[in-house]
Amino acid sequence: MCKRLFLAVFAGLLFSLPIFGRHIIGGVINYEYKGNGKYFFTMRIYRDCKGGGAPFDGEPGDKGAIIGVFREIGGNYQAITQFEEPLKSKKPVEPPFYPCMAVPPDVCVEEGIYEWEFTIPDFPSKAAYHFVYQRCCRNNTITNIVNPQNSGATYEIVITPEAMSGESSSPVFKNFPPTVVCANAPFVFDHAAIDKDGDSLYYRFCSPLYGGGPNTGAFVTDCKIGARPDPLCPPPYDTVVFRQNFSSRYPLGSGVMTINGKTGILTGQVKQLGQYVVGICVEEYRKGKLLSKVFRDFQFNIALCNVFVDANIASDTLVGKTLVINSCGSAKVTFDNRSIDKSRISGYLWEFNILGQTQVSKELNPTIVFPGLGKYTGRLVANPGLKPCTDTADFEVNIFPGIEANFNYAYDTCVAGPVKFTDLSTTGSGQMSIWNWEFRDGGKSAVRNPEYRYKNPGEYNVRLTVKDINGCKASTTRIIRYYPVPSLVIVEPDTSQGCQPLRIKFNNLSTPIDNTYLFDWDFGDGMRSGDMSPTHIYADVGTYTVKLNLTSPLGCKTNAVFPALINVKGSPVADFAYTPEKLSNFERTATFTDKSINAYRWSWQFGMNEGGSTARDPVYTFRDTGVQEIKLIVTHPSGCTDTISKLLDVEPLLTYFLPNAFTPNFDGLNDEFKGKGNMFGMSDFTMTIWNRWGERVFETRDPNEAWNGRIDNTGSMAIDGVYVYHVTFTGPRNKPYSFKGFATLIK
């Protein structure tokens, strides 16, 4: 059973890399003979497009890839030519598909393609021609070589004299290695090449070539340190320096990965995460003679992958890596296949070891009848024969004797007390080890024969679960109808005495009871109730005995009598009258007459900011006008009180009188025309006087200003005659007043 669920992590491609070219992850050059000494070359370069490195040489705005041609004879190398090639095309390299695993999503590899033609000038030559491309640098997170961030790459292919004489084309690798290899999973990759001439091919690991360095200066001419050497270094080329425990033959470590020399098949299983530079050569032979060697290096990215196939079975426990399935009382077992992801699993293989014989099944959930009690082993294989998508779960089946849970209970249905539970469970093992009781009101117990007292009545679905020494479990439930009557009836009124009418809430504190019980209350005043905790109003004075009869849903009865439980005291009824019924600022004294019943003490309050009295029939003179709340509180000899309030209005009144004639002759008698009266509370006063021709002769807004007979009180004296006056003002409480009449002026 695979218990790995790896987080998809691609460590090497998530770093932010400098722009000066840490991006090269592989490349290869091939050629095809076209006749008459002409060859067509294809160079494929691979870059990490998520690492923040430089683009391909020859992309728009950049000079092309620098290709160098060197002629070799007798170990001497002569530079023939050097030229730039533009990038012909580029495309993403699709990540590999694993049917049962998911590779990390942040992987980006691009393939850039360059093409050119070249004609060998002295074809067929006795010299070898080397075609070379150099570029720095590799990813600085590479695991297996020294100083990778400063190590460039050289991609070279040689047309040998033998290849020329044989008019041969180079082999071409069929596939680019996967961009991600899942750690801890079997790895198989076809690294074979195709040779159009049908020559024999042989494959082996070989060392990647070093070329260039990290220096990007414009005037760098040293081809060993320049990021894009110009001119190129001539052959022979150094190889990269492997770290300890790695080599060109074992680029991922000793014995981790092998290549079949005849088929080019790469196989292995890598455990160590990281990035590894790997070089592979394919040698082309014709009649035992070496014609050419095509070299390709590339970067293996070893990452953790999500594993989607996990063989699993529903089990009772896990011992080490073995699933344990216990069957108690039955030799017939149906297996519950819980393998994931079923959409990626094409089949299953079950193997059962029964008495030394192997029984197999290919069903999803097989049913097996075992011979009898005992221990049996087996395994489940998901995707049998489909590596690397195969996973296995080992299991063990224990056929144990049967077990049965059972119990009984007893309690006095008419007396509230504990329920006694008796365990009646049985097991073929002969020894029970665990009892778990759930009383379904929150209570639990691990005692074999417990007693339990319920706080509330009701129906409880009690569950007992037992386990024996083999780990076999069984459960059973029984419904308990728990409806005893209380051993003591407890009633608590919210008060026991008060003034009539007396409202009382009777709280029934008896336990255990609920609304399924029958209640019969007798309040002692001829009234009854069937509520569990009723509210009752006593209208009359007296002392009352309360009775309660109680019946459980099972028919059990109990009762209680509470003598002289409630005492209702007498209460007065407050009332009064007053005269006169209307009061004003001219008449502010009222006589109050008590009309209360059963009162022997009186308390009067005559309004806000006014006085009070304790006389039965007081006389009171109000200090001010306005609406006053008159409150009377009367007290019964029992101490009970009653209160009544009435509103009394002391109305503010205003008087205003005007004469019908005046004599402005300065004799000191009746010389002015103005109004008189009680003008308290007057506002917005206006008086105008008009002659018979409609001319206004006087106007004032001051009620205390008089007309002296002159025009506007300052001009010439008005003539004798009758004048019209108009007076308006606002009185108390915003009441409007208006007076119109005639005033006669006599000199």
pLDDT digits (tens, 9 = 90+) for 569-595: 999 999 999 999 899 988 999 999 999
Task: Name residue, tokens 């190889």.
Answer: 239
Residue 591 belongs to a domain: yes
Residue 7 belongs to a domain: no
Same domain, 552 and 636: no
Domain boundary among 629, 651, 673: 651
Q: Dihedral of the CA atoms 421, 427, 433, 436 (nearest 10)? A: -40
SS3 call for 12: helix
How many folded domains does the chain comprise? 6
Strands 391-400 and 322-328: parallel
Q: How far apart are CA 288 and CA 306, in angstroms?
A: 47
Same domain, 601 and 735: no
Domain CATH code at residue 418: 2.60.40.10
pLDDT higher than 50, residue 7: no
HSE-up (13 A, CA, CB side) for residue 140: 16
Residue 58 belongs to a domain: yes
Element (H, E) at 161: helix 161-165
Residue 2 belongs to a domain: no
pLDDT, tens digit, 9 for 90 and up, residues 438-471: 999 999 999 999 999 998 899 999 999 999 999 8
Compute and round to an integer the Cα radius of gyration of the chain: 58
- Under a CB-based contact definition with an 8 Å cutoff, are residues 193 and 174 in contact? yes
Same domain, 187 and 280: yes
Domain boundary among 651, 677, 702: 651
Residue 1 belongs to a domain: no
Same domain, 19 and 50: yes
Mean of pLDDT values over 251-279? 92
Residue 6 belongs to a domain: no
Q: How far apart are CA 677 and CA 685, in angstroms?
A: 14
Same domain, 498 and 620: no
- Under a CB-based contact definition with an 8 Å cutoff, are residues 310 and 3 in contact? yes
Same domain, 510 and 615: no
Q: What are phi and psi of 460, to 5 degrees?
A: -120, 125
Mean of pLDDT values over 251-261? 93
Specify which residues 584 forms β-bridges with: 651
pLDDT higher than 90, residue 60: no
Same domain, 711 and 632: no
Same domain, 464 and 503: no
Give me the amino acid identity at 95: P
Same domain, 136 and 193: yes
pLDDT higher than 60, residue 665: yes
**Global model pTM greater than 0.75:** no
28: which 2 tokens?
Answer: 């290869």
Q: What is the pLDDT of residue 97?
A: 66
Same domain, 280 and 352: no
Same domain, 318 and 249: no
What is the span of the domain harbouring residue 688? Answer: 661-745
Same domain, 19 and 76: yes
- Laid out side by side, the sheet with 444-445 consists of 444-445, 432-438, 458-468, 473-482
- Under a CB-based contact definition with an 8 Å cutoff, are residues 71 and 164 in contact? no
pLDDT, tens digit, 9 for 90 and up, residues 677-695: 888 889 999 999 999 998 9
Q: What are phi and psi of 711, to 5 degrees?
A: -65, 120
Domain boundary among 620, 651, 682: 651
pLDDT higher than 80, residue 655: yes
